Structure 1
């Protein structure tokens, strides 16, 4: 049923259960897993470049390193299930890049994680997951993460 599954990850706790779910589906269907991390261009363009992100030099570089670590973590988890992973790091608007990648790679399913945010957060910033669900032409599975 699924030959190519896209996991969009941000490396946070909200992506952990989605990663497990995507790996399980890829294993079950003997599918290729596409792991995608988006360096949000709005985040690094809002800074002068002198700041540090998680003790890394410069916001863009720091976000790229965080993305590489997140992608590597997905591949590491998938190895135990004999699931092949294509790692991709892109720059741009996360929701747009996820939908574009899904179309370009002709994936059969998009898997995203989400966690509960305060209502003020959602009304101010919105949600990448909400936007992908609305814009994607592909089926989307949203895996909720319980944060204790």
Structure 2
């Protein structure tokens, strides 16, 4: 196993094929090691499918996964309008509640996923890792989060189906792909 003491998850889950891959890349300067995965979800059905990919790659490599959801920021004009109606304290409180709701929803979804795959994947890689909710522009926040954790891989689910999906993959996923210096895996909606 060449002293992979840093894989904090379960080395026994490594497969021969991955060990072979690791051995073949060992000679190069850049080891194909995936220790940190950023999985960005918009909570759509397509993103749920991408969760499976993030999990199995994490399991294979003994990697940690950070889950990111970005709540798209409203315009400053809308913000000040709502703030004037509600008052700043109530507005901040609502934002915080919304964030908590989203985190609870993601935790719930991850728990369900882990229950479902527990037979094939006894050590579900999401349990101990971070769930991050940001308010802002999705592309910016994905790039920032990938840098913050120094991600070895970014996993995104392509949204929706058909022509509209192609237009949408144009938005967030394509811009992340264009700007990222890190490997990006885009998982189409199954």
TM-score by length of 1: 0.77
Q: How does 1:94-105 map to 2 (within 5 A)?
A: 94-105=138-149
Asked if 2 retains the 8 angstrom alpha-carbon contact of 1:11 and 1:67, the reply is no
Shift of 1:104: 1.4
Asked if 2 retains the 8 angstrom alpha-carbon contact of 1:19 and 1:74, the reply is no
1:118 aligns with 2:163: yes
Gaps of 5+ in 2: 1-32, 86-92
Distance 1:17 1:93, change over 3 A: same
Shift of 1:132: 0.7
Where is the strand percentage greater, Structure 1 or Structure 2? 1
Asked if 1 retains the 8 angstrom alpha-carbon contact of 2:39 and 2:67, the reply is yes
> Within 1, Cα distance between the matches of 2:158 and 2:60?
23
Shift of 1:86: 1.1
Asked if 2 retains the 8 angstrom alpha-carbon contact of 1:114 and 1:142, the reply is yes
Gaps of 5+ in 1: 51-57
> Within 1, Cα distance between the matches of 2:129 and 2:64?
6
Corresponding position of 2:63: 31
Corresponding position of 1:53: none
**Residue deviations 1:93-136 (CA, integer Å, cap 9, x gap):** 0001001110111010000000335359828x951111111111
Corresponding position of 1:11: 43
2:151 is aligned, of 107, 123, 140, to: 107
**Equivalences, count:** 139
Where is the helix percentage greater, Structure 1 or Structure 2? 2
Which of these two proteins has the greater Rg computed from alpha carbons? 2
